A and B are shown apart, each in its own frame.
Chain A
Amino acid sequence: MRWMTTRRPWRPAGLALALCALAVGCDDSEQPAESAGAGCVSDLEFFQQQVSLPVLEADCVNCHNPQGIANQSMLVLASAGETDYLRRNFEVLREVAAFERDGVNLLRGMPTNQIPHGGGQRFKVGSDTDKAFQELIRRFDAPVVCEASSEGSGLLAKVELVDLPGTLRKAKLQLIGELPTVEELEQVSSGGAAALEALLTGYMQEDAFYETLKRWWNDDLLTDKYARGDEATNLLDSDDFPRRHYYRDLPDDTEAGQLARRWSNLSVAREPLELIAHVVRSERPFSEVLTADYMLLNPFSAQVYGLDTAAFDDPLNPMEFKALKVDGVPHAGVLTSPMFLNRYPTTPTNRNRHRARTVYRLFLATDILQKADRPVDPTQIRDHNPTMNNPQCTVCHASMDPVAGAFQNWDDRGRYRLPEEGWFSDMRPPGFEADMPPDDWGRSLQWLAGQIAADERFALSAVYAVYTGLVGRRPLTNPQDQSDPRFEAKLAFYNEEQAFLRTLVDAFQAGGQNLKVIIPLVIESPFYRALNAPGLSEDEAVVLAPLGTARLLTPEELSAKLVATLGRPWQARVNDRDQLTHRDEFLFFIGGIDSDQITDRISEPNGIMANIALRMASDMACLVTAEDFNRPLAERHLFPLVEASYRPEDDNGFAVPQAEEAIRANIRYLHQRLLGEVLTPGHPEEDATYELYLQTWRELFAGIRNEQVPTALPGRCRHERDFWSDEALEDDARLRYDPEGTLRAWHAVLTYLLADWRFLYHQ
Chain B
Amino acid sequence: MDRRDFLRLAGAAGLSVMLPGRGFAQEAPIDHFFVFVHAGGGWDPTMLCDPKGMRNEEDEDPVNHFLTDDIGTAGNLRYAPIGDHRAFFDKHYQRTLVINGVDSQTNNHDSGTRHMWSGKLAEGYPALAALIAGTQARSKPMAFISNGGYDLTGGLVAPTRTGNIGLINRIAFPNAIDPRNPVEGERYHTDATYERIQAALERRRGWLGQRYGLPKATATQDALYAARVGKNEVRQLSEYLPQELERGLKGQAQVCCAAFRAGIAKTANLTRGGFDTHGNHDDAHTASMSDLLAGVDFLWDEAERQGIADKLTVVMGSDFGRTPSYNSGNGKDHWAITSVMLMGKGIPGNRVIGGTDERVRPLTVDPGTLALSDGGIRIEPGHIHAALRRLAGVDSEQTVQQVFPLIGVANLPLLG
Which residues in A have some Cβ–Cβ distance to B below 8 Å?
A: 81, 159, 347-350, 369, 372-373, 375-379, 530-534, 536, 538, 541-542, 544-548, 550-552, 583-589, 591, 597-598, 602, 604-612, 614-615, 618-619, 621-622, 684-685, 688-689, 691-692, 695-696, 699-700, 703, 709, 714-717, 744, 747-748, 751-752, 755-758, 760-761, 763
Which 6 pairs from chain A and chain B are nearest by CB? A607-B141, A588-B163, A375-B105, A615-B174, A610-B227, A348-B329
Docked complex Cα distance between A314 and B203 (Å): 56
Please tell me if B65 contacts chain A, counting CB pairs below 8 Å.
no
Q: Residues of B contacting A534 with CB < 8 Å?
A: 210, 213
Once the chains bind, are A605 and B278 in contact (CB under 8 Å)? Answer: no
Once the chains bind, are A541 and B215 in contact (CB under 8 Å)? Answer: yes
Once the chains bind, are B193 and A699 in contact (CB under 8 Å)? Answer: yes
Closest to B152 in A: A600
Q: Residues of A contacting B155 with CB < 8 Å?
A: 604
Please tell me if B121 contacts chain A, counting CB pairs below 8 Å.
yes
Once the chains bind, are A604 and B153 in contact (CB under 8 Å)? Answer: yes
Closest to A592 in B: B163
Docked complex Cα distance between A714 and B200 (Å): 24
Q: Residues of A contacting B107 with CB < 8 Å?
A: 376, 378
Q: Residues of B contacting A696 with CB < 8 Å?
A: 193, 196
Once the chains bind, are A349 and B161 in contact (CB under 8 Å)? Answer: no
Once the chains bind, are B186 and A714 in contact (CB under 8 Å)? Answer: yes
Interface residue from A610, A619, A692 paired with B228 (Cβ < 8 Å): A610
Once the chains bind, are B327 and A349 in contact (CB under 8 Å)? Answer: yes
Once the chains bind, are B234 and A552 in contact (CB under 8 Å)? Answer: no
Please tell me if B136 contacts chain A, counting CB pairs below 8 Å.
no
Docked complex Cα distance between A744 and B361 (Å): 71
Binds A, one of B54-62, B86-94, B297-305, B331-339: B331-339
Please tell me if B401 contacts chain A, counting CB pairs below 8 Å.
no
Q: Residues of B contacting A699 with CB < 8 Å?
A: 190, 192-193
Docked complex Cα distance between A695 and B215 (Å): 34
Binds A, one of B4-12, B68-76, B218-226, B311-319: B218-226
Please tell me if B29 contacts chain A, counting CB pairs below 8 Å.
no
Once the chains bind, are A378 and B361 in contact (CB under 8 Å)? Answer: yes
Once the chains bind, are A752 and B212 in contact (CB under 8 Å)? Answer: no
Once the chains bind, are B188 and A756 in contact (CB under 8 Å)? Answer: no
Once the chains bind, are A377 and B105 in contact (CB under 8 Å)? Answer: yes
Once the chains bind, are B333 and A609 in contact (CB under 8 Å)? Answer: no
Q: Residues of B contacting A372 with CB < 8 Å?
A: 106, 108
Q: Residues of B contacting A379 with CB < 8 Å?
A: 361-362
Closest to B205 in A: A757
Q: Residues of A contacting B243 with CB < 8 Å?
A: none
Once the chains bind, are A545 and B215 in contact (CB under 8 Å)? Answer: yes
Once the chains bind, are B264 and A756 in contact (CB under 8 Å)? Answer: no
Once the chains bind, are A618 and B186 in contact (CB under 8 Å)? Answer: no
Q: Residues of B contacting A531 with CB < 8 Å?
A: 212, 214
Given A369-B110, A619-B188, A688-B203, A602 contacting B193 (CB threshold 8 A): no
Once the chains bind, are B217 and A763 in contact (CB under 8 Å)? Answer: yes
Once the chains bind, are B188 and A622 in contact (CB under 8 Å)? Answer: yes
Please tell me if B32 contacts chain A, counting CB pairs below 8 Å.
no
Docked complex Cα distance between A372 and B110 (Å): 12
Once the chains bind, are B224 and A760 in contact (CB under 8 Å)? Answer: yes
Once the chains bind, are A607 and B177 in contact (CB under 8 Å)? Answer: no
Once the chains bind, are A751 and B189 in contact (CB under 8 Å)? Answer: yes
Q: Residues of B contacting A621 with CB < 8 Å?
A: 188
Docked complex Cα distance between A348 and B123 (Å): 31
Once the chains bind, are B106 and A376 in contact (CB under 8 Å)? Answer: yes
Once the chains bind, are A536 and B215 in contact (CB under 8 Å)? Answer: yes
Once the chains bind, are B200 and A688 in contact (CB under 8 Å)? Answer: yes
Once the chains bind, are B223 and A692 in contact (CB under 8 Å)? Answer: no
Once the chains bind, are B214 and A159 in contact (CB under 8 Å)? Answer: yes
Docked complex Cα distance between A604 and B133 (Å): 15
- Number of A-B residue pairs, CB cutoff 8 Å, is 235
Once the chains bind, are B189 and A618 in contact (CB under 8 Å)? Answer: yes
Docked complex Cα distance between A370 and B188 (Å): 52
Given A614-B174, A751-B189, A758-B208, A538 contacting B201 (CB threshold 8 A): no
Please tell me if B21 contacts chain A, counting CB pairs below 8 Å.
yes
Once the chains bind, are B331 and A347 in contact (CB under 8 Å)? Answer: yes
Given A348-B329, A545-B216, A611-B231, A747 contacting B189 (CB threshold 8 A): yes
Q: How far is the CB of A577 from chain B (nearest CB, A)?
A: 11
Once the chains bind, are B217 and A585 in contact (CB under 8 Å)? Answer: no
Please tell me if B171 contacts chain A, counting CB pairs below 8 Å.
yes
Q: How far is the CB of A427 from chain B (nearest CB, A)?
A: 13
Q: Residues of B contacting A614 with CB < 8 Å?
A: 174-175, 228, 231
Q: How far is the CB of B374 from chain A (nearest CB, A)?
A: 14
Once the chains bind, are B361 and A757 in contact (CB under 8 Å)? Answer: no
Once the chains bind, are B329 and A347 in contact (CB under 8 Å)? Answer: yes
Q: Residues of B contacting A544 with CB < 8 Å?
A: 214-215
Once the chains bind, are B200 and A608 in contact (CB under 8 Å)? Answer: no
Q: Residues of B contacting A586 with CB < 8 Å?
A: 163, 167, 171
Once the chains bind, are A755 and B197 in contact (CB under 8 Å)? Answer: yes
Given A369-B108, A607-B141, A598 contacting B148 (CB threshold 8 A): yes
Given A349-B327, A350-B278, A615-B174, A550 contacting B214 (CB threshold 8 A): yes
Please tell me if B160 contacts chain A, counting CB pairs below 8 Å.
yes
Docked complex Cα distance between A717 and B189 (Å): 11
Q: Residues of B contacting A763 with CB < 8 Å?
A: 212, 217
Please tell me if B251 contacts chain A, counting CB pairs below 8 Å.
no
Q: Residues of A contacting B143 with CB < 8 Å?
A: 606
Docked complex Cα distance between A550 and B217 (Å): 5
Docked complex Cα distance between A608 and B228 (Å): 9
Docked complex Cα distance between A689 and B196 (Å): 11
Docked complex Cα distance between A611 and B141 (Å): 10
Given A548-B217, A550-B216, A752 contacting B171 (CB threshold 8 A): no
Once the chains bind, are B196 and A748 in contact (CB under 8 Å)? Answer: yes
Q: How far is the CB of B106 from chain A (nearest CB, A)?
A: 5
Q: Residues of A contacting B247 with CB < 8 Å?
A: none
Once the chains bind, are B167 and A589 in contact (CB under 8 Å)? Answer: yes
27 contacts between A and B (CB under 8 A): A347-B329, A348-B329, A349-B279, A375-B105, A375-B121, A379-B362, A534-B213, A538-B20, A538-B21, A545-B215, A548-B217, A550-B212, A586-B167, A587-B163, A589-B167, A604-B158, A607-B140, A608-B142, A610-B141, A615-B170, A618-B175, A618-B188, A691-B200, A716-B177, A751-B188, A756-B201, A758-B212
Once the chains bind, are B214 and A548 in contact (CB under 8 Å)? Answer: yes
Please tell me if B373 contacts chain A, counting CB pairs below 8 Å.
no
Interface residue from A548, A589, A619, A744 paired with B163 (Cβ < 8 Å): A589
Docked complex Cα distance between A607 and B264 (Å): 10
Q: Which of B107-155 contact A (CB under 8 A)?
A: 107-108, 110-111, 121-123, 140-143, 148, 153, 155
Docked complex Cα distance between A259 and B48 (Å): 51
Q: How far is the CB of A528 from chain B (nearest CB, A)?
A: 12
Closest to A477 in B: B123
Closest to A587 in B: B163
Q: Residues of B contacting A747 with CB < 8 Å?
A: 188-189
Please tell me if B180 contacts chain A, counting CB pairs below 8 Å.
no
Please tell me if B392 contacts chain A, counting CB pairs below 8 Å.
no
Q: How far is the CB of B118 from chain A (nearest CB, A)?
A: 15
Once the chains bind, are A532 and B163 in contact (CB under 8 Å)? Answer: no
Q: Residues of A contacting B221 with CB < 8 Å?
A: 757
Q: How far is the CB of B209 from chain A (nearest CB, A)?
A: 10
Given A378-B335, A615-B171, A751-B197, A608 contacting B160 (CB threshold 8 A): yes
Closest to A538 in B: B21
Docked complex Cα distance between A715 and B148 (Å): 40
Closest to A350 in B: B278
Once the chains bind, are B189 and A748 in contact (CB under 8 Å)? Answer: yes
Once the chains bind, are B214 and A547 in contact (CB under 8 Å)? Answer: yes
Interface residue from B123, B190, B215, B279 paired with A347 (Cβ < 8 Å): B279
Q: Residues of B contacting A598 with CB < 8 Å?
A: 148, 161
Q: How far is the CB of A404 from chain B (nearest CB, A)?
A: 13
Q: How far is the CB of B281 from chain A (nearest CB, A)?
A: 10
Please tell me if B164 contacts chain A, counting CB pairs below 8 Å.
yes
Q: Residues of A contacting B193 with CB < 8 Å?
A: 696, 699-700, 744, 748
Q: How far is the CB of B182 from chain A (nearest CB, A)?
A: 11
Docked complex Cα distance between A585 and B165 (Å): 9
Docked complex Cα distance between A547 and B218 (Å): 12
